Amino acid sequence: MGTQWCRTWRDAGNRWALLIALAGMAVISNVATAAPPAQPDPDCVGVVLGGGGARGIAHIGVLKVLERERIPVCAVTGTSMGAIVGGLYATGYDAAELEKIVGAIDWADMFVDDPPRQELPMERKDEDFRHLLDLEIGYKDGRLGFPVGLVRGQKLMLLLRRLTLSTWRSEDFDALPIPFRAVSADIVTGRKVVFDDGDLALAIRASMSVPGAFAPVKVGDQLLVDGGMAENVPIDEMRAMGVSRMIVVDVGSKLLGEKDLTNPAVILDQMITALMTEKTERSLATLGAGDVLVRPELGDITSGQFNRTAEAVAVGERAAEAMLPQLRRHAVSAERYAALRARQHRRDFDPGLVAFLDVEPGHTPSATRHVAWATEGLAGKPFDVDKVEHAVGRAYGDGRFEQIGYRLVERDGQAGLEVIPTQKPWTAFGRIGLQLDDNFNGRNNYLLSAELTFNDANRSGGKWRNLLQLGRVTGLRSEFVQPFGRAGAFYLKPSLEIRADSLPLSVDGEQVAEYRLVRRGLDIEAGYSPSPEWRIGIAAIGGRDRARRIVGDSSTFAGGSETFAGVRVNATWDSLDSVSFPTKGLRATAELVSLHPWGTTILDGEVARASLDWAYSRDRYHLLLGMRLASALQDDGFFQAQTFLGGFLNLSGFGERSLVGNQAALARAVVYRRVGDTTRIFAMPMFVGGSLEAGNAWDRRDDVDFGSLLVGGSLFTGFDTPLGPIFLGYGRNQAGADSWYLTFGSLLRQEPK
C-alpha cells in the first residue's frame, strides 16, 4: 500500500499542495501587477507558454517550428515551466540550444538540494549512519517547524543563475533580447504577481514553486509560489504588453476519469487540475481569430518525467506542424526574419575580473564567517562560474542554510560578486532514524534514534548534539563539537554517554543466552579534517561496562563488570556517493583502542578494527566490495573486544549477530541492478541483487584459519524509499541453513554508534 501511494503521488506530477494552499487558490485574483504596456513591432506575434512541469518541455518543439517557419516573436510570457523555457528564450537562446541544455540536465540530481555526498563535510557524512529519514524538524521560540517544501531549490537556482548570466546588467525585462513576463502567485494574499523587472533568475524560480514540492520564494515582503495557481496560461499579461496577435501553447494535464481516481493523493491532484483547467479555459475563450492555440498531445508524459525530453520536444513539434496553415499567416521574409533574430541573439558575457566579493550577513557571526571562508578565493580573479558554484556548494554543504545564492553586481564601474546566504530559521533541529532487522524466524531487532542539535551554540560556531536511541541499543549520548581554525578544520569534541546494548551469546552458531551490557562512558576527542574526504582523531576514553544475563544458560558466562580507561585513535576516508545504494567511491576506516590500568581500572589490552567499502558502476549495474577486520591484539576477552557477525550481508544465512569472538574477519561482494522506469524524477528506485560473503569469528588469534572461513550468500530486492533503504532478502550458508530477511538500513551495515 505504501509503495503504491508513493508511486501515485509521484505520477501525479508532484503538483499536490497542502490543503491550506488549495484553499488559498480559490481566492486567487486576476489582478495584474504588470508595468505599462510595451510597444512591440505591430507585425510581430507574442508567444504564451503555459505551465505543466516536464510537459512544458514540449514548448521547445513548438519554438523550433516557429523558427523554421520564420514566425517573428516579439514578446514572451510564461508560467512555471513555461517561464523557464520562455525566460531563457527571451535572453537569446534559440530552440536548438534550449533542447541541448534541457537534454543535458541531470534532473534527478537537480531536485536534490545537497551537493554531491563526496563534497559534504565529514561530520555530515557521519549522519548518514545515524539517520535514514531525510526530514528535519526545527525548533524556535517554543514552536516546532517543518520544511515548507520537499525541495528548497538550491541547485535549481544555481542552474537558472548560470543560464541567465548574460543578462546580469538588465533588470528591465523589456530590455531583454525579447521582452518577457513571468507569472507567480503570493501564497499569503492569493494574488497574482507579474515580474516585469528585477532578478530574472529569481523571477523564473518563483514562477515554478509548486506548493508542497518546492519551497516558496521570498521576494521583498511577498511569499511566492507557482504561477499556475493564479494563471497557468498568461494570456492577459501578453495583452498588457500591447501585443494583439498571440501563439498560445497549453501543456496542462487533462482531468482523469472516474476509474483512475483511486486514492486521496490522486483526488487532491484532480481538484487542483480542475481549478487550473477552469481558469485556463476561460482565458482561452478570449482568443481572437488571429490567434493560434497549440495543444500538444502529450499522452502519458507526466509533469514529473523530466527525462523524457526528446519525446516531449517531438510532440511539441508535431503539434505546431498540425497548425501550420494558421501559423504561416504570421510568417515574414527570410531577410526580415534574419535581421530580427540577429537582434535577439544572446549577448556575449564576460564580466572579466571579480573586483570585490560581498557576503550578506547571516543570522549568526559563525555562519557568515563560514560562507566568507568558503568563497574568499573568488575575489581578484577572472569570473569562473564553475568555481563560484563549487564554492557556494561547499558553503551550503555545512547544513545550516536554507539556500545560498549569488549574483553579479556592479560598483564604480567594476564587476563583483554578492553572495546571499539564507540561514535556516531554527535555533535547533532534530533528525529521526530507524534500523530494522527481522529474519521471520523469531529473531528481530530494531533501533529508533532521535537527534536534537543546537547549531551555533556559541559565537565560535559550536554545536551541541544529543542522540537518543531506543531498541537493541537504548541510551543517550550528548556531545559538544567546537571547531577551531579559520576553516574549522580542527575540532574538540567532549561527550558523555550511557547506553544499554543487547549482547547475544552463541555456541556453534546457536544462541544460548542473551545479556544486557550497560556502558557509562566519557571521552574527549581532538581531530583534524582539512577536506571533505578524510579525518583523523585521537580521544581519551574512560567508563564502566556492566553485563547481566537476561535469558539463557549462565554456565558459560555469568556476567560481570569492567572499568576501563585508555586512548582511541581513528582515521576515516570517505568518498562514497551514497550509503544507501552506492555507485562510486571508497570508504575506509581504521581504529585502535588501547586500554591500560589506571586508578581503579584493571583492563589492559588493545583492539584494532578496520573496514573498507568500494563501489563501482557501469550503466545500471553496481558492484560493492567490502571488508571488515577486528582483533583483540592480546586475545583478551573484555567487552570492547567482542565483534559480531551473522545476518543479512554479514554472513547471510546465519542468525543476526549469532557469531561472536575476539577475532573476526569478513569479506563480501554485492552486485545490484536498478530496475523499472528510471525516467521519473520522483520515482522510488528499485534494485535487485545478490551477495557472496565469507568470514568467521574466533576466540584467539591462533584459531584464525582461512580453512575455517564460513560462506554465505543472499538474493534481495531493495527500494530506496523516502524513509531510507529497505530490503527483502533470502540468505543461505554453506551448512544449508537459510533465512529470510526484512531489513531497513544501509547496504554498508554499520554498527550503531
Tell me the three state secondary structure of residue 578.
coil
pLDDT band at 199 (very low <50, low <70, confident <90, very high): very high
- pLDDT of 265 reads 58
- Over residues 178-205, mean pLDDT: 92
Residue 23 has pLDDT above 50, yes or no: no
CA gap 649, 713 in Å, rounded: 7
Helices 95-104 and 309-321 cross at an angle (nearest 10°) of: 150
Q: Out of 434-443, 450-459, 641-650, pick the least confident.
A: 434-443
pLDDT band at 39 (very low <50, low <70, confident <90, very high): very low
Question: How much is the pTM?
Answer: 0.81
389 vs 271 pLDDT, higher one: 389
- pLDDT of 16 reads 33
- pLDDT of 402 reads 87
Burial call 106-141: b when 16+ CB within 10 Å, e when fewer = ebbebbebbbebebbbbbebebbbbbbebebbbeee
- pLDDT of 174 reads 94
- Over residues 664-693, mean pLDDT: 86
Contacts of 672 (CB under 8 A, 6+ apart): 581, 621, 622, 624, 687, 688, 689, 690, 716, 718
Q: What is the pLDDT of residues 373-415, one digit of tens each?
A: 889 889 999 999 999 999 999 899 888 888 899 999 999 889 9
Assigned C-alpha cell, 27: 481566492
Q: What is the pLDDT of residues 41-97, one digit of tens each?
A: 667 899 999 998 889 999 999 999 999 999 999 999 999 999 999 999 999 999 999
Q: What is the pLDDT of residues 465-475, one digit of tens each?
A: 999 999 888 99
Assigned C-alpha cell, 228: 499556475
Nearest to 329 by CA among 372, 360, 293, 292: 292
CA gap 87, 93 in Å, rounded: 9
Most confidently modeled range among 82-91, 501-510, 718-727: 82-91
- pLDDT of 511 reads 65
Q: What is the pLDDT of residues 137-149, one digit of tens each?
A: 777 777 777 776 6
239 vs 108 pLDDT, higher one: 239
577 vs 28 pLDDT, higher one: 577
Nearest to 177 by CA among 249, 244, 97: 97
Q: What is the pLDDT of residues 219-265, one digit of tens each?
A: 888 888 888 888 889 999 999 999 989 999 999 877 666 666 666 65
CA gap 209, 232 in Å, rounded: 13
The per-residue pLDDT of the chain, averaged, comes to 84
- Over residues 160-172, mean pLDDT: 92
